[in-house]
Structure 1
Amino acid sequence: MLAGGRAARLGTPKPGVVVGGRPLLEHALAATRGARRTVVVGPEDLAAPGRYVLTREDPPFGGPVAGIAAGLAALPDDGAAPWVLVLACDVPGAARAVPALLDAARRRTHDEAGVLAVRDGREQWLVGLYERAALDAALAALPTAHGASVRRLLADLPVLGVPDDDGATDDVDTWEDAREHDRRLGADARPAPGHPDDTRRSG
């Protein structure tokens, strides 16, 4: 799970932004239930021993491909989990999208190395299930993961697209996006309680 971006348009770290009554990170973690192991790629203040493995790309802020590489490096390469869910932390509806990805993975052809959500004709690369071996090979083919685009990493993989018709993969890049998700969920978007940007905290 990728949770280490700068979130320049929000002005506050995305993982702690509260949407629908829960921080974005918690929405994303809910989507990983049932996974053998969950790795969060992000800063040290996200540490939660026993809940998931926390790691970070080096140097930080290397972009999502560097984050994917760091996440894979933190996963045992023992063949026990041949599929990897790649998920950005800013997708509050991810838990609705993942069951469709799992279903698609079961009916894919053997030539397809992954399944990903497609929203309004656009591939949602960071809401996808991919074969571990295919991700490793794609990363090895890049000159560097730092600063590389996700499209460059994944565009040549044969994948099965899964239509997202109800906006489960809509992300949160701005406060307007957050308020729209809250409108859907009937709650109030804000930074996590106690964060310096949380102007609604008591006192």
Structure 2
Amino acid sequence: MIRLGVIILAGGRSTRMGADKAQVKVDGVRLVDRVVAGLADDIPYVVVSPYDLGIPTVSEDPPFGGPVAGIATGAAALDTELKAVLSVDAPDSPALLDSLKGALESSSSDVAVVQAADGFLQPLCALWTASGLDAALDALSDPRDKSAKKLLLAAGSRVEVAGDGREVDYDTFAELGQLGKVEL
């Protein structure tokens, strides 16, 4: 079995962004492509989106079921021992995978999650054991319309990893402008 796989949440209705966030470009590169490019070549990934992004995707059925429904769909598509959850809103988050993996492997926790400088846990920048993620999903029963924070709270145990700024998620074009030139 492959050790690590990544679930990339590429957005639902993107109401805060006002456009399909996966398709938004910063310095000419789509956010979804930036996240994929941040992964090592040998790491399998699955992109969860109801939209045609021109790359292989999966979507929860019915679509627009919220982040946990997307995570559940992505998790079912990956046969790996560890499953990372990342989002296109945080395009630099793949750089934190090594820190998350080190923390998870040196603990007996179900999930390693990044804690931002403001103390907020980033459930969409996390690495789960497959069994821990399955158990948390089972605890929520129906994943539809559940927040990623609820999934994190359903974890049996967690280890927190200090963020370094690359976990920042961007919800508006103005915020994305901190990374470079933004275009649709």
Q: TM-score range by the shorter chain?
A: 0.7 to 0.9
Task: Tell me, in whole angstroms, the C-alpha distance in 2 between the residues paired with 1:140 and 1:168.
Answer: 30
CA separation of 1:156 and 1:140: change in aligned 2, threshold 3 A: closer
TM-score of the two chains, using structure 2 as the length reference: 0.87
Rg larger in structure: 1
2:183 maps to which of 190, 193, 197: 190
- Give deviations 1:118-154, integer Å, cap 9, x for gaps: 1021100000100011111111122311101212112
2:149 maps to which of 144, 148, 151: 151
Structure 1 residue identity aligned to 2:49: G
CA shift, 1:97, in A, is 1.9
Contact 2:49–2:57 (8 Å) recurs in 1:
yes
Contact 2:23–2:53 (8 Å) recurs in 1:
no
Task: Tell me, in whole angstroms, the C-alpha distance in 2 between the residues paired with 1:154 and 1:9.
Answer: 22
CA shift, 1:34, in A, is 4.6
Task: Tell me, in whole angstroms, the C-alpha distance in 2 between the residues paired with 1:168 and 1:151.
Answer: 19
Q: How many equivalent residue pairs?
A: 175
2:86 alignment partner in structure 1: 87
2:134 alignment partner in structure 1: 136
- Structure 2 unpaired stretches of 5+: 1-7
Task: Tell me, in whole angstroms, the C-alpha distance in 2 between the residues paired with 1:24 and 1:151.
Answer: 23
Mapping of residues 1-203 of structure 1, within 5 Å:
1-34=8-41, 36-48=43-55, 53-76=56-79, 81-107=80-106, 109-110=107-108, 112-119=109-116, 120-157=118-155, 158-165=157-164, 167-182=165-180, 188-191=181-184
- Structure 1 unpaired stretches of 5+: 183-187, 192-203
More strand as a share of residues: 2
Pairwise CA RMSD of aligned residues?
Answer: 1.7
CA shift, 1:178, in A, is 0.8
Contact 1:116–1:162 (8 Å) recurs in 2:
yes
Task: Tell me, in whole angstroms, the C-alpha distance in 2 between the residues paired with 1:57 and 1:113.
Answer: 24
